[in-house]
Amino acid sequence: MFKLLISSLTVLLLAGCQNITPEVKTDKKTAPAKTRVEKSEAQKTMQKHPMQKPMMHKMFQSVDKKDAILVQTGPNKEHCAMCGMNLIKFYKTSHAAKLNGKNIQYCSLHCLTEHINEGAELENPMVVDVDSLKFIPVTEAFYVVGSDVPETMSPVSKYAFKNLDLAKAFQKKHGGKIVDFYSAWQEAKKDFQK
């Protein structure tokens, strides 16, 4: 029986299950088998500097809270009016508009399009300029569509720039094509075609 237990443990270790801590049953008591687990770089940093938080990967779409302009009011002002996603986390794809005189904010062109598809009559649509992080009218934006930078709520990325040269620099680095709002909106509409 001991040989069977050792064989089973060996198979688990060879199969890549080193992080599983199997229990070894004996006549006396149950005790976990000891395995050596390497500490991650974050854990090593925390040991050396316990007050320092480990560095987290920040998504391209995200900004610091102090840099985000939230146009909505109320308890859900930090969340997309359609899907509820965090607007600060997905700020660089954020859009906004007025609906019946009230400011509404969306995490993406996808959610703005969904709201229009549901019959919302939006006024003064705006988009965040990736460079300045300020809202600009969608009609003044140069959208880079289909870059290798992840999008929000869509399989095709759409990032807006006020400055054509900055849009071209982004395109050169990340790919995609530069289009106006109407063309980017037509691409967003494809998300809802069956």
Q: Is the per-residue pLDDT at 111 higher than 50? A: yes
Q: What is the signed CA dihedral for 108, 96, 164, 146, rounded to 10 degrees?
A: 10
What are the sequence ranges of the domains in the chain?
Answer: 2-36, 65-192
Lowest mean pLDDT among 29-38, 74-83, 104-113, 152-161: 29-38
Q: What is the Cα Rg of the chain in Å?
A: 25
What pTM does this model have?
0.71
Structure tokens at 163: 């400055």
In this prediction, residue 58 has a pLDDT band, given cuts at 50, 70 and 90, of confident
Strand boundaries in 16-134, DSSP class E:
23-25, 30-32, 95-99, 102-106, 123-128
Calculate what percentage of the chain has a pLDDT beyond 90. 69
Q: What is the signed CA dihedral for 126, 140, 91, 96, rounded to 10 degrees?
A: 0
